[in-house]
Amino acid sequence: MAKEMWKPGNMLYPVPPVLVTCQNKKGESNMLTVAWAGTVCSTPAMLSISVRKERYSHAMLMETGEFVVNLPTEDLVRETDEAGVRSGRNINKWEKLHLHQEEGKMLSVPMISECPVNMECKVKQVLELGSHDLFLAEILAVHVDSSLLDEKKRLQLEKAKLLAYSHGQYFGLGKVLGSFGFSVRKGAKKKTAGTERKKHGSRRK
């Protein structure tokens, strides 16, 4: 491969674009789209979101230290974009985007009813990094739409048709290419991505 070196920038793609809901002490709530979100710890279950100080939501996050991460689906792509280009300073995004509030169990921050997965989060630490403040938070509860569970209560997340975001564009997830550990599983078919790469002549010798 012939590569060009670019100046430092973030190219960690694709990522999940999430809808983060938050609320101030007066009980006014808002939402914003966040692409700089990440899984950071399994036990305790923790995630991070990076939010610029100038976002209307930032003050709410600082005030209560509580938020909900709501996972949008393909059919919410327009709402996901709009929540990320309009500010709650000027409009009520719940009304504008026709999204409905659902009560959580651990916090008073409303969850987005139309999103099939919601995580109630409590901020543990705020790190001022530069353009963004990183909110490190513990996940207090996960809510999953029961239509995504099979008869044994196993989550079939692929059914949710979640969104991906890559370098300014929204995508659906596409076909399943394998499952965790498939590459070393006994009896697994030998035809892997590597075989495909060979065919196209790009595999390292």
> Which range touches ligand FMN (CB under 6 A), out of 38-46, 83-91, 146-154, 174-182?
83-91
Does the protein bind ligand FMN through residue 32 (CB under 6 A)? yes
Asked if 18 and 169 count as a contact pair (C-beta separation under 8 A), the reply is no
Instruction: Return the residue nearest ligand FMN (CB atom).
Output: 84
**Phi, psi dihedrals of residue 137, rounded to the nearest 5°:** -140, 150
Does the protein bind ligand FMN through residue 171 (CB under 6 A)? no
Distances (CA, A) of 18 to 8, 41, 80, 112, 118: 24, 18, 8, 11, 10
Does the protein bind ligand FMN through residue 14 (CB under 6 A)? no
Does the protein bind ligand FMN through residue 55 (CB under 6 A)? yes
Site for ligand FMN (CB under 6 A): which residue of 29, 33, 73, 118? 33
Beta bridge partners of 169: 166
Does the protein bind ligand FMN through residue 50 (CB under 6 A)? yes
Q: Which two tokens stand for residue 5?
A: 């070196």
- Residue 113 CB, shortest distance to ligand FMN, in Å, is 19
Matching residue, tokens 């001022």: 128
Q: Which helix or strand (DSSP H or E) is residue 30 part of?
A: strand 29-34
* Contacting positions for ligand FMN (CB under 6 A): 17, 30, 32-36, 50-52, 55-57, 81, 84-89, 132, 165
